[in-house]
């Protein structure tokens, strides 16, 4: 629920009205009109409600890029005459990224930056008793003077958070940076006594008025605990600051993740003569003490606490970044249920509801401004950064959950002037200068919290530039075993840094790996996008961090999948490192963390999605890895009623090789921990493809085969595709050729990461067998439908991931190949030129009906005319026998 101090629908002309003193706040989210483009006078307006973004759909299409430009919003608003003389404001929680606000054709205000809230005073432009027009121009175009400049997320445009109409008396608490100008700090807190300091900013319009400013601390039941007040005489039209006498609370209830007890501070301004209430605001108060220790990590209320949690981007499937508060709060609840105690609000300040949820649920947090990847060497850019940092701190100052302010993320990832070392030296010095300015501003604005920069893993570069010596905490975004190197390099990096900087607290501010829930592997490897590999990576990383007390925090990247329009890979436009899918469906690694962080016995069978594989030789089952997440010491496993050898948990995971049968597999596990039993049960659908097609131990109805891959894939029709194999007599498989691999790409184990245009099932086409000579399937006699899937994977300009530091773009030589395809001695394709006829990374499907008689099976022959023939995938399915001769003739 929105934190508002009074919610009366009295401002709108259609509502009844009462004269109410103090502040009035009303939502005006409904009944707007929107037009995309620069011409606001055009008739092309359409109705919208807020929150709204104009990029909800175009960031997911197959056309590169998305609309970044101007858009207009307008709304008609009638305000009754009784409110004449009130000070009136529009409060925008967030609008991306340059906003200009007009009231009745007069410019009322402008705001730069897409992620902080802002107020626009409108009293001078509103006509009470008449209809008024609000007109808002927004522009999310790239602007070199506004961060973020580049990033691995989408810069959605629009008024994507709530908008409020605020009315106050002529004397009120200020909001020059969209906070309420009541700043609460707790300079001393322990179990016996807490000191609360309160500073207030006051706006006033008039001379000689005497006021009383007071603040009352109330407990969770609303009962007053303590009070402070002070008087002042207002002089002129200006802003005034007041430091109230400190409040002492004896035997306070301390705030922590286990017990997030919240007091509230109700602050008022009253007329000293009449006692009339002029303004009132309420802020949360959590009483806690904390500090970071370079050797022993983080301490809360005097006790060590390992920070374990995740980062969060604000978008959601189907809504973009125009997310209602209920979904934002739901994310924090999901993190809490996982056992997490920390949220990195990245890479920008988010909706106010996020930190309110952190306060109430007991999630500690860091917040940052979007200085990501690079900077612009201009004073305008620097000033924008400074303003953003001040806005962020002042707007979120009173949240007890916040313990860290961050102001840069991987800022040396894309250094400028790579071919001019002298200019690059100047650029690096400017980055350092800006970092020092932002750090200094932060410490001045808030001396009670810590500062942090999050760096990518180029240790020497950050050390040489001097960025490791500025912030109070150093954050490392580390992806050993994913973007490069080996998993085992991760602890080596941590130990080396701690040895060199023994007095600097450190957190792992990002780590993780892609997890496409449609992709499974019994033998997972780096960058195959399988969930199994990602689960193992999280297991290894968390274990290594828990061993090291000097690592204060582990911040998973990311809580949920999020949109990054420029990404391609197995799931185009999505960074799928999330513990949750874009719609917040949990993935296996989420349950792994539940097992590791739970304080009670826990067990969960992983890999419940449809899966598939090839039978073990002539057997009727497929041996495949099964993972179970648990904190139990030992686990009993039963599969399809048969007892499997007990497993011992290692760092939260048990793994077995399990004989899966074709169809539904009933899996049951029982674990024991400290004398207590915990159990789980799952039904796992598994498609077992027969190894031999002429035995009949598994009924053959058809198969979907991925060539050049070692992973299974479930497509959008819920069809399971299994990896290819080499042919042997009586079986099926390819003859000749090799797996396609991008030359010079040491990251991908096989295949490409290109976006395959025109399909939802990119993994079907992202791998292939190059130089294939034949494909044989020794199927029984019958009628079959055969589909051959092709896509040219070589050629074109490929935009690399930001983490490929060597080459932001690569130009691949075009795959020139022309070949014929013959099926059972009948020509299917002649002079087939995939790239020439269809283009690069475009799916091509060729279908043929095949009648198999006399034990000949299906024999597909590839004859090269130029270059190497390829095949990406294959489907063969039996066709029901026609019931009449007429049907038979129509099929043939």
Kindly give, in sequence order, each residue whose CB lies less than 8 Å from that of residue 777, ignoring residues fewer than 6 positions away. 693, 732, 857, 858, 876
* Strand ordering across the sheet containing 611-614: 611-614, 676-689, 663-673, 634-639, 642-648
For the domain spanning 24-173, the CATH number is 2.60.120.260
Q: Mean pLDDT, to the nearest integer, of 723-748? A: 95
Lowest-confidence pick of 4-8, 261-265, 745-749, 784-788: 4-8
Q: Mean pLDDT, to the nearest integer, of 80-101? A: 93
Is it the case that residue 4 has pLDDT exceeding 50?
A: no
Strands 782-790 and 844-852, by their bridges, are: antiparallel
The DSSP symbol for 881 reads P
Q: Mean pLDDT, to the nearest integer, of 871-878? A: 98
Can you give the pLDDT at residue 73? 98
The domain defined by 182-285 carries CATH number 3.40.50.2300: no
**What confidence category does residue 696 fall into, taking pLDDT thresholds of 50, 70 and 90?**
confident
Whether a cis peptide bond, with omega within 30° of 0, leads into 347 is: yes
How many angstroms separate the CA atoms of 214 and 271, rounded?
11
Is it the case that residue 549 has pLDDT exceeding 80?
A: yes
**What confidence category does residue 802 fall into, taking pLDDT thresholds of 50, 70 and 90?**
low
How many angstroms separate the CA atoms of 375 and 144, rounded?
8
How many angstroms separate the CA atoms of 686 and 698, rounded?
13
Can you give the pLDDT at residue 799? 56
Kindly give, in sequence order, each residue whose CB lies less than 8 Å from that of residue 807, ignoring residues fewer than 6 positions away. 800
Is it the case that residue 6 has pLDDT exceeding 50?
A: no
Architecture of domain 291-605: Alpha-Beta Barrel (3.20)
**What confidence category does residue 888 fall into, taking pLDDT thresholds of 50, 70 and 90?**
very low
For 185, phi then psi, to 5°, come to: -130, 160
Kindly give, in sequence order, each residue whose CB lies less than 8 Å from that of residue 833, ignoring residues fewer than 6 positions away. 817, 818
How many angstroms separate the CA atoms of 434 and 453, rounded?
12
* CA proximity to 625, closest of 633, 634, 639, 617: 639
Residue 865 pairs in a beta bridge with none
Residue 238, SS3? strand
* Secondary structure, 3-state, 261-314: CCEEEEEEEEECCCCCEEEEEEEEECCCCEEEECCCEEEECCEECCEEEEEECC
How many angstroms separate the CA atoms of 291 and 313, rounded?
27
φ/ψ bin of 652: left (φ > 0), alpha (ψ from -120 to 50), beta (otherwise): left
Query: Please, are residues 809 and 798 in contact by the beta-carbon 8 Å criterion?
Result: yes
φ/ψ bin of 747: left (φ > 0), alpha (ψ from -120 to 50), beta (otherwise): alpha
Can you give the pLDDT at residue 706? 98
Is it the case that residue 13 has pLDDT exceeding 70?
A: no
What integer best gives the mean pLDDT of the chain? 93
Can you give the pLDDT at residue 806? 39
Query: Please, are residues 213 and 169 in contact by the beta-carbon 8 Å criterion?
Result: no
Can you give the pLDDT at residue 83? 80
Tokens of 746: 């040491």
Is it the case that residue 891 has pLDDT exceeding 60?
A: no
pLDDT tens column, 20-55: 468 999 999 999 999 999 887 777 899 999 999 999
Can you give the pLDDT at residue 178? 77
Torsion sign (Cα): 324, 327, 333, 339: negative
Give the position of tokens 């390992």: 306
Fold classification of 626-687 is Immunoglobulin-like (2.60.40)
Looking at domain 695-891, its CATH class is mainly beta
Query: Please, are residues 569 and 579 in contact by the beta-carbon 8 Å criterion?
Result: no
How many angstroms separate the CA atoms of 841 and 572, rounded?
13
Can you give the pLDDT at residue 1? 33
Percentage of residues of the chain with pLDDT beyond 90: 87
Q: Compare 889 and 360 and report the one with higher pLDDT.
A: 360
End-to-end CA distance of the chain: 65
Tokens of 731: 């079986």
Lowest-confidence pick of 518-532, 573-587, 627-641, 686-700: 686-700
Buried b (16+ CB within 10 A) or exposed e, 683-719: ebbbbbbbbbbebeebebeebbbbbbbbbbbbbeeeb
* CA proximity to 756, closest of 872, 629, 867: 872
Length of the chain: 892
* CA proximity to 687, closest of 657, 656, 718: 718
Tell me the CA distances in angstroms from 819 to 23, 665, 705, 735, one per residue in order: 76, 43, 21, 16
Tokens of 359: 């306060």
Lowest-confidence pick of 527-541, 788-802, 822-836: 788-802
Can you give the pLDDT at residue 239? 87
Q: Mean pLDDT, to the nearest integer, of 452-457? A: 98
φ/ψ bin of 702: left (φ > 0), alpha (ψ from -120 to 50), beta (otherwise): left
Is it the case that residue 418 has pLDDT exceeding 70?
A: yes
φ/ψ bin of 610: left (φ > 0), alpha (ψ from -120 to 50), beta (otherwise): beta
* CA proximity to 742, closest of 733, 753, 756: 753
Can you give the pLDDT at residue 877? 96
How many angstroms separate the CA atoms of 587 and 560, rounded?
9
pLDDT tens column, 138-192: 999 999 999 999 999 999 999 999 999 999 999 999 987 877 899 999 999 999 9
Percentage of residues of the chain with pLDDT beyond 70: 94
Buried b (16+ CB within 10 A) or exposed e, 794-815: bbbebebbbbbbeeeebebeeb
Query: Please, are residues 738 and 770 in contact by the beta-carbon 8 Å criterion?
Result: yes
Residue ranges of the domains in the chain?
24-173, 182-285, 291-605, 626-687, 695-891
**What confidence category does residue 366 fall into, taking pLDDT thresholds of 50, 70 and 90?**
very high
Can you give the pLDDT at residue 60? 96
How many angstroms separate the CA atoms of 511 and 527, rounded?
14
pLDDT tens column, 819-860: 999 999 999 999 999 999 999 999 999 999 999 998 899 999
The DSSP symbol for 359 reads H
Kindly give, in sequence order, each residue whose CB lies less than 8 Å from that of residue 355, ignoring residues fewer than 6 positions away. 345, 365, 367, 396, 399, 401, 402
Q: In CATH terms, are 24-173 and 291-605 the same topology?
A: no
Residue 826 pairs in a beta bridge with 823
Tokens of 766: 């992202």
Q: Mean pLDDT, to the nearest integer, of 527-531? A: 97
Whether a cis peptide bond, with omega within 30° of 0, leads into 148 is: yes
Strand positions, DSSP E, 294-392:
297-300, 303-304, 307-312, 342-345, 364-368
For 807, phi then psi, to 5°, come to: -155, 100
């Amino acid at each position: 629920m929105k934190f508002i101090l009074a919610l009366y629908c009295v401002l709108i002309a259609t509502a009844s009205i009462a004269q109410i003193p103090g502040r009035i706040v009303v939502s005006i989210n409904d009944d707007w009109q929107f037009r995309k483009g620069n011409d606001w006078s055009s008739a092309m307006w359409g109705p919208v409600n807020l929150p709204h973004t104009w990029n909800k759909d175009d960031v997911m299409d197959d056309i590169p890029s998305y609309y970044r430009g101007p858009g207009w919003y307008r709304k008609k608003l009638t305000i009754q005459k009784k409110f004449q003389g009130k000070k009136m404001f529009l409060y925008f929680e967030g609008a991306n990224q340059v906003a200009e606000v007009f009231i009745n054709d007069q410019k009322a205000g402008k705001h730069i930056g897409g992620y902080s809230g802002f107020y626009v005073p409108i009293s001078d432009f509103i006509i009470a008793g008449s209809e008024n027009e609000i007109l808002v121009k927004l522009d999310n175009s790239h602007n070199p003077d506004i961060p973020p400049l580049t990033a691995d997320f989408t810069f959605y445009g629009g008024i994507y958070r709530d908008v409020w109409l605020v009315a106050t008396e002529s004397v009120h608490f200020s909001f020059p940076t969209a906070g309420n100008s009541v700043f609460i700090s707790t300079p001393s807190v322990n179990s016996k006594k807490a000191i609360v300091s309160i500073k207030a900013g006051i706006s006033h319009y008039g001379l000689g008025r005497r006021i009383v400013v007071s603040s009352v601390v109330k407990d969770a039941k609303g009962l007053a605990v303590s009070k402070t007040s002070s008087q002042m005489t207002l002089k002129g039209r200006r802003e005034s600051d007041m430091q109230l006498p400190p409040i002492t609370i004896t035997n306070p209830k301390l705030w922590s993740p286990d017990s997030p007890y919240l007091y509230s501070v109700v602050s008022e301004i009253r007329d000293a003569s009449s006692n009339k209430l002029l303004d009132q605001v309420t802020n949360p108060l959590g009483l806690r003490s904390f500090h970071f220790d370079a050797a022993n990590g983080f301490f809360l209320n005097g006790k060590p606490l390992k920070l374990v949690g995740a980062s969060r981007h604000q978008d959601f499937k189907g809504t973009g970044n125009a997310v209602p508060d209920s979904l934002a709060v739901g994310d924090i609840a999901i993190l809490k249920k996982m056992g997490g105690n920390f949220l990195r609000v990245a890479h920008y300040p988010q909706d106010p509801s996020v930190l309110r949820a952190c306060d109430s649920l007991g999630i500690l947090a860091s917040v940052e401004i979007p200085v990501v990847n690079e900077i612009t060497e201009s004073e305008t850019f620097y000033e924008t950064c400074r303003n953003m940092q001040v806005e962020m701190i002042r707007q979120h100052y009173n949240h007890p959950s916040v313990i860290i302010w961050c102001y840069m993320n991987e800022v040396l990832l894309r250094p400028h002037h790579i071919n001019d070392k002298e200019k690059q030296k100047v650029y690096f010095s400017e980055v350092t200068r800006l970092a020092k300015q932002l750090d200094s501003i932060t410490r001045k604005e808030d001396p009670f919290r810590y500062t942090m920069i999050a760096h990518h893993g180029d240790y020497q570069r950050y050390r040489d530039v001097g960025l490791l010596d500025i912030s109070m905490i150093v954050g490392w975004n580390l992806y050993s075993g994913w973007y490069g190197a080996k998993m085992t390099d991760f602890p080596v990096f941590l130990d080396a840094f701690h040895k060199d900087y023994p007095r600097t607290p450190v957190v792992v501010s990002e780590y993780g790996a892609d997890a496409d829930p449609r992709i499974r592997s019994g033998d997972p490897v780096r960058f195959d996008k399988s969930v199994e590999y990602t689960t193992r990576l999280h297991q290894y990383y968390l274990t290594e961090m828990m061993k090291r007390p000097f690592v204060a925090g582990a911040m998973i990247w990311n809580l949920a999948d999020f949109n990054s329009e420029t990404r391609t890979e197995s799931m185009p436009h999505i960074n799928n490192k999330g513990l949750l899918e874009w719609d917040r469906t949990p993935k296996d690694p989420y349950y792994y963390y539940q097992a590791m962080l739970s304080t009670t016995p826990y067990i969960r069978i992983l890999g419940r999605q449809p899966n598939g594989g090839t039978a073990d030789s002539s057997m009727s089952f497929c041996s495949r890895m099964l993972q179970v997440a648990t904190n139990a010491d030992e686990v009993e496993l039963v599969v399809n009623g048969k007892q499997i050898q007990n497993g011992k948990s290692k760092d939260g995971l048990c793994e077995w090789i399990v004989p899966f049968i074709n169809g539904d597999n009933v899996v049951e596990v029982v674990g024991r921990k400290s004398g207590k039993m915990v159990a789980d049960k799952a039904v796992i659908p598994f498609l077992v493809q027969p190894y031999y097609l002429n035995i009949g131990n598994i009924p053959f109805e058809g198969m979907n085969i991925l060539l050049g891959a070692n992973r299974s894939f479930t497509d959008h029709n819920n069809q399971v595709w299994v990896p290819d194999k080499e042919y042997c007599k009586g079986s099926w498989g390819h003859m000749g050729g090799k797996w396609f691999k991008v030359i010079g790409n040491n990251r991908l184990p096989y295949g490409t990461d290109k976006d395959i245009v025109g399909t939802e099932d990119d993994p079907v086409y992202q791998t292939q067998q190059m130089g294939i000579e034949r494909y044989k399937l020794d199927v029984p006699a019958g009628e079959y439908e055969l589909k051959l899937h092709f896509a040219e994977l070589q050629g074109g300009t490929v935009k690399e991931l930001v983490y490929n530091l060597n080459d932001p773009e690569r130009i691949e030589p075009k795959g020139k190949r022309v070949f014929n395809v013959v099926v059972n001695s009948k020509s299917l394709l002649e002079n087939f030129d995939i790239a020439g006829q269809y283009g690069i990374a475009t799916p091509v499907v060729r279908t043929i009906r095949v009648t198999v008689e006399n034990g000949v099976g299906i024999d597909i022959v590839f004859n090269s005319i130029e270059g190497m023939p390829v095949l990406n995938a294959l489907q063969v399915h039996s066709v029901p026998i026609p019931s009449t001769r007429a049907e038979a003739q129509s099929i043939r």
